[in-house]
Structure 1
Amino acid sequence: MRDYPALHLIIGGEKVGAVGRDTCAVVDPSTGETIGELPLANAADLDSALENAARGFRIWRATAPEKRARVLQDGANLLRERVETIAQMLTREQGKPLPEAKGEILYSANLLDFYAGECKRIYGRTLVRPAGQRAEVRMEPVGPVAAFAPWNFPALNVARKIGAPIAAGCSVIVKPSEETPATGAAVVQCMLDAGLPPEVCQVVFGVPDEVSRHLLGSPIIRKLSFTGSTTVGKHLLKLAAEDMKRTTMELGGHGPVLVFGDMDVDKVLDTMAPNAFRNAGQVCVSPTRFIVEENLFEPFRDGFITRARALKVGNGFDDGVQMGPMANPRGPDQIERMVADAVDHGAKLETGGERIGNQGYFYAPTVLSEVPTSAEIMNEEPFGPVAIINRYADEAAMIAEANRLPYGLAAYAWTNDAARRRRLIDEIEAGMVAINTGGVSAVDAPFGGVKWSGHGSEDGAEGVTACMVLKTVHEA
């Protein structure tokens, strides 16, 4: 058994353990076995975190941009130095293959490096006025941020939640997922070890609704940043509205992939089939609905089935594993129910559709075809290893299907027709669109959605400005 660290909160730079606190079990998704007991913050802990955040904001907003940048850069370098240790924590508690865990941590370090550069690129502007008068537009840090990160990318999501506020001059209280606590705490510890004042970043865990109500009920918190389901996001938006707190919401999706008949089938499949099963499909921008032009449907479907069946599924520590378990027992339960509902509505189960083994939360890579829009899986994000492949007659029908749902996070399209590419870019309703590629994120590009997929952006310069407010000053 690989070592798993003792778990703790981080408040005022101190590691706060389980003594005198309720705890919850942390489980290895490959085995279902308990690997740790996580202390849950009580009301006094949350009040202490808020008090530290208030002090931290006063300290950090007055800190020179060069020092903020240096702390972010040094934190990124510590992530790189500790990648082997943190990656093992990540795979142990979340399940993804170890190479994917290492890649996630290194991407997180690159993001912190980018934010370091943005510390010195926070600009205002001076307005033209008559002689003797002056007007300027200033960008100032919004204040202490309450940030809630999910379990599917436990390093990257925490790096996103803390990197932008720190670059902007804010303090932050971050709540990583209680299911993947060690990774998030390790990311924050890198920042503290890099010289971040202990008041600037706090780590708390707890009963999610209790923590969110306590933090968002405090006037100290000036902004909410949340990544998670649309249902929970709507609930948190209502809490934030009571005090008019600013919000960044990265919510659910149901990624359409438009595949046109002028494409080479293998080229599309070699990119998108692995993308669909990455992290066992537990990715908010996962390609889920494959909208295939009719003349390409059968070879595309057959090629997808072949690739799904060839995937090696197993413990994320084992050599050659391409897909690990789902991260918690809710995942297989939901996928099993949604697949059964799709088949009941007339869908064809082409491969998969079953659990693997008798321990852990493994579910076979699954392909459904000819799924009617009345099936639940066509309307709600599966968030698991399922690809839906349907045929469509023409471009208009394909765009209509892509835009049919109230979600609009990521969308993909494959075509060699330049004029069509421009039409798709104009007409697809999504915050991120990938044309002839499977990638929709980069450290210097905004990451976020439209419609029910949320508002605001993380990453890029926009991630930092989302943690700022404008102040216009007029002088005479």
Structure 2
Amino acid sequence: MTATTLSPALVAHLPTGVLVNGQWGPASGRGRFEVRDPATDEVLFDVADSSPDDALRALAAADAAFPAWRATPPRVRSEVLRGAYERITARADDLAALITAEAGKPVAEARAEVLYGAEFFRWFAEEAVRSDGLVRTAPSGANRQLVHRRPVGPALLITPWNFPIAMATRKIGPALAAGCTVVIKPARLTPMTTMLVAEILREELAARDLPTGVVNVIPASSAGPVTAPLIADPRLRKLSFTGSTPVGSLLLEQAAKQVLKCSMELGGNAPFVVFPDADLDAAVEGALVAKLRNAGQSCVAANRFLVHDDVARPFAEKLSAAFADLVVGPGYRPDVQVGPLIESAAVDKVAELTQDAVDRGAQVLVGGERQEGPGHFWQPTVLTGVDRRARAVHEEIFGPVAPIVAFGSDDEAVELANDTPFGLAAYAYTTSLSRAMRVMDEIEAGMIGINRGLVSDASAPFGGLKQSGLGREGGDEGLAEYQETIYVAL
């Protein structure tokens, strides 16, 4: 263990195995894989490497538990989620330390993720007892129409590494609220936080003498070998994935054979538009939030800064000054504001995108280089005069780099914002109501922040347009993703 905020008592009680039918155990092949601290590249944990057989055992457990869990009263399902919410908030310090250790986030940011992640359990605890239906007379008057919802069935949840608690609870919460059982495949790079959440749920279910196979976990060093057999199995009825668009597209192809109900939260390329009438200080403050959460490693991170010609220079100067003041380092240090990137390959990609922009004429105002390790660090970087053909304008950066592209008119701003196959999030700063309404109407994104650098909220629908995915997580829509709509003519 490295010099993190992890306590020996916490480490001693963390599960590192496969969770099947309420029991943690070794992988059937008895393989293991390492989880490393991105701030030092030292090994933190040794985790069970699930085999396809483990995955199928987990699905069998979820399938066997489904009838009883589906029949469990909504109020009881609600209480399970509420109890898990309270357990998570009570252990917020432990979970934050774990996120900092395996994901590298500054500890204050990690704690904020814990509270945000817990909120999904509280929200869906409340939604579990509010699954609306419909009764009405048919227009002909000949019969009554009844519409109700029931759980779709066992679900496979594939979570990413960048928000290891929030991405898990955002899927588990609505699934359990709806009456579905789950098999969770946590990310290889950050499995431990998700596994601790699963243990909290296991304890909550066991305390109430509820079915043991409701929540199952299959950590693995490679996702394909363990998820493909599940997606091909007719017992699975739901797939939820958060990750890259290429992987999501492949999973959709696999899911098509079983006609699985799918939710896909995929890649992004969020524009951050600064109009000439914007409050520049507020825009810079919002940019710090939208760009630098998790060192820019977020699917909703501001990726392209589209700034009007009249304010491009002062905005770039203010943003550069703010970036220059940031403290970069290991997340467990209390003064650190920007932690490491997740692995060396992530730093390599950021370096490539930065160099490509410079080769096309961009100027580095601040940063632009790797930061000396150990660990995987990149200096917060502002690029100005960026060519619109630069890779950083068209590819997801996933790092603390802000490329600034100037525009001359509102029409051009909208055109540039929509010049991408992605449509997850967008941000705009303006004091004009008419401009704000135009952004709402014309920019192609599933989530839009107007004079806000943060859009995520457990009570709001999270998801994108175009190649950024299918379906929504959070809000009222999140529960519906795990339900089938049934119509009865009476």
Q: State the TM-score, normalized to the length of structure 1.
A: 0.97
Report if the CA contact (8 A) 1:326-1:363 is conserved.
yes
- Residue 123 of structure 1 aligns to which amino acid in structure 2? D
AA of the residue aligned to 1:157: M
Structure-1 separation of matches of 2:145 and 2:280: 58
Deviates more, 1:182-191 or 1:370-379: 370-379
Matched residue SS, 1:194: helix
Tell me which residue corresponds to 1:78: 87
Given the alignment, which residue of 166, 173, 194 partners 2:183? 173
Secondary structure of the residue aligned to 2:377 is coil
Structure 2 counterpart of 1:296, from 311, 314, 335: 311
- The CA deviation string for residues 229-275 of structure 1, in whole angstroms up to 9 with x for no partner, is 11111011101011100110000101101111112211211221243
Secondary structure class of the residue paired with 1:249: strand
Report the identity percentage: 39
Gaps of at least 5 residues in structure 2 are none
Structure 1 window deviating more from structure 2 (438-447 vs 6-15): it is 6-15
Indicate conservation of the 8 Å contact 2:40/2:374, yes or no.
yes
Q: How does 1:161-200 map to 2 (within 5 A)?
A: 161-195=171-205, 197-200=211-214
Question: Per-residue CA shift, 1:101-145, capped at 9, x if unaligned?
Answer: 111111111111110110111011113147773321121111111
What's the CA shift for 1:7?
1.5
Shift in Å at residue 403 of structure 1?
0.3
Distance 2:393 2:196 in 1: 38
CA distance in 1, matches of 2:281, 2:144: 61
Contact 1:258–1:291 (CA under 8 A) maintained in structure 2: yes
1:308 to 298, 305, 323: 323
CA distance in 1, matches of 2:35, 2:470: 31
Instruction: Write the distance in 2 (CA, Å) between the matches of 1:216 and 1:191.
Output: 24
Are the equivalent residues in 2 in contact too, given 1:29–1:326 (CA < 8 A)? yes
Question: Which structure 2 residues correspond to residues 342-381 of structure 1 after superposition, within 5 A?
Answer: 342-381=357-396
**Structure 2 residue 215 is matched with structure 1 residue 201:** yes
1:412 correspondence with 2:421: no
Equivalent position of 1:135 in the other structure: 145
> Residue type of the partner of 2:19?
I
Q: Is the 8 A contact 1:212 1:236 kept in 2?
A: no
Match of residue 324 from structure 1: 339
- Cα distance change on mapping 1:309 and 1:229 into 2, 3 Å: same
> 2:211 & 2:463 partners in 1: Cα distance?
29
Contact 2:344 2:376 in 1 (8 A): yes
Match of 1:17 among 23, 26, 33: 26
Contact 1:431 1:449 in 2 (8 A): yes
> Between Structure 1 and Structure 2, how many residues are aligned?
475
TM-score if structure 2 supplies the norm length? 0.95
CA RMSD, Structure 1 to Structure 2 (Å): 1.4
Partner residue, 2:467: 452
Q: Which amino acid counterpart does residue 202 of structure 2 have in structure 1? A: L
The residue that corresponds to 1:56 in the other structure is: 65
d(CA) in 2 for partners of 1:20, 1:220: 23
1:46 equivalent in alignment to 2:55: yes
Q: Aligned partners of 2:320 and 2:423: how far apart in 1?
A: 27
Trace 1:419-438 onto structure 2 (pairs within 5 A): 419-438=434-453
Code of the aligned partner of 2:67: R
Instruction: Provide, for residues 254-307 of structure 1, a one-character-per-residue CA deviation record: whole Å limited to 9, x for no partner.
Output: 110111111221121122124311111001101121111111110000111111
Q: For the Cα contact (< 8 Å) 1:6–1:36, is it kept in 2?
A: no
Following superposition, the deviation at residue 197 of structure 1 comes to 3.0
SS in structure 2 of the partner of residue 359 of structure 1: coil
Shift of 1:18: 5.5
Report the Cα offset of residue 19 of structure 1: 7.6
Instruction: Give the letter for the 1:61 counterpart.
Output: R
Contact 1:342 1:377 (8 Å CA) reproduced: yes
Displacement after TM superposition at 1:6 (Å): 5.4
- Distance in 1 (alpha carbons) for counterparts of 2:423 and 2:407: 20
Give 1:370's aligned amino acid.
G
Q: Is the 1:18–1:38 contact (alpha carbons within 8 Å) kept by the matching residues of 2?
A: no
- Name the amino acid aligned to 2:203: D
Q: Which of 247, 265, 269 is the aligned partner of 1:250?
A: 265
Note the C-alpha offset of 1:20: 4.5
Q: Where does residue 32 of structure 1 map in the other structure?
A: 41
Distance change (3 Å), C-alpha of 1:6 and 1:173: closer
The Cα shift of 1:182 comes to 0.9
The aligned amino acid for 1:306 is A
In structure 2, what is the Cα distance between the partners aligned to 1:354 and 1:454?
Answer: 33
Measured in 1, the distance between the counterparts of 2:181 and 2:407 equals: 50
Alpha-carbon distance between aligned partners in 1 of 2:52 and 2:481, rounded to the nearest angstrom: 29
Distance apart, 1:358 and its partner CA: 3.0
Q: Which amino acid aligns with 1:118?
A: E
Sort the Cα spacing of 1:294 and 1:15 in 2 relative to 1 into closer, same or farther, 3 A: same
The answer for the alignment partner of 1:159 in structure 2 is 169
Partner AA of 2:144 in structure 1: R
**Residues 390-421 of structure 1: CA deviation (Å, up to 9, x unaligned):** 11101010110000001000001111111111
Q: Which residue of 1 aligns with 2:413?
A: 398
Runs of 4+ displaced beyond 6 Å: none
Would the aligned equivalents of 2:15 and 2:199 in 1 still touch at CA under 8 Å?
no
Letter in 2 for 1:318: R
Cα distance in structure 2, aligned partners of 1:264 and 1:131 = 58
Answer yes or no: is 1:239 the counterpart of 2:254: yes
Q: Quick one: structure 1 residues 168 and 55, their matched pair in 2 at CA, closer, same or farther if it must change by over 3 Å?
A: same
Aligned counterparts of 1:361 and 1:36: Cα–Cα separation in 2: 18
1:146 paired residue among 156, 164, 174: 156
In structure 1, list runs of 5 or more residues that go unmatched: none
Q: Aligned partners of 1:19 and 1:313: how far apart in 2?
A: 41
Q: CA-to-partner distance for each residue in 1:414-434, whole Å, 9 max, x for gaps?
A: 111111111111001000011
Match of 1:98 in 2: 107
- Matched-pair contact (CA < 8 Å) for 1:12–1:202: yes
Corresponding residue of 1:468: 483
Match of 1:220 in 2: 235
* 2:98 alignment counterpart: 89
- Counterpart-to-counterpart distance in 2, 1:213 and 1:358: 37
Give the distance between the partners of 1:358 and 1:72, measured in 2 at CA.
41
